[in-house]
Amino acid sequence: MDSLIEWLVSASVIIGGVFALVGSIGLARLPDFYTRLHGPTKATTLGVGGTIVASLLFFSWQERGLQLHEVLITLFLFITAPVSAHMLAKAAMHRQLKRMKGTRGEPWKQ
């Protein structure tokens, strides 16, 4: 049983870490502000999600009882992440930042 939990925790940590890494790579690689905006919003969902599942499993197992602090972290993140992404996008349109070549559609005038 112990080793099963260890495997599950390890897998969750690795999955979370990989997605956080991919989010950061996106932030570094993508060409314009609007596309870069997609990197961090993704990392917070699955990257943090994987880490949180690992923490939940590990501490529930160690303390022999369900630990729910992590559920709150997820909840707060899911409420705040879209709001900050929205504000960033609005600010970018206000400053009329350059768009990547081939971007379709127009941002709105602010």
Partner 1 sequence: MTLLYRVLPYPSLSLILWFTWMLLSGFTAGHAVLGAILAVLLPLGTRPFWPNVPRIRNLPRLLGFVVVVLYDIVVANVSVAIKVLGPLRSIRPGFVELPLELEDDFAIALLASTVSLTPGTVSADVSPDRKTLLVHALDVDDAAALVAEIKQRYERPLKEIFEC
Q: How far apart are CA 97 and CA 21, in angstroms?
A: 26
* C-alpha torsion angle, residues 86, 87, 92, 94 (rounded to 10): 120
Least CB distance to partner 1 at residue 104 (A): 3
Least CB distance to partner 1 at residue 51 (A): 14
End-to-end CA distance of the chain: 58
Least CB distance to partner 1 at residue 1 (A): 26
Q: Which amino acid is residue 109, in one-letter code?
A: K
Q: How far apart are CA 50 and CA 18, in angstroms?
A: 9
Nearer of residues 19 and 58 to partner 1, judged by Cβ: 19
Q: Which residues bind partner 1 (CB under 8 A)?
A: 19, 22, 25-26, 29-32, 34-35, 37-39, 41-42, 45-46, 49, 68-69, 71-72, 78-79, 81-83, 85-86, 89-90, 93, 99-100, 102-108, 110
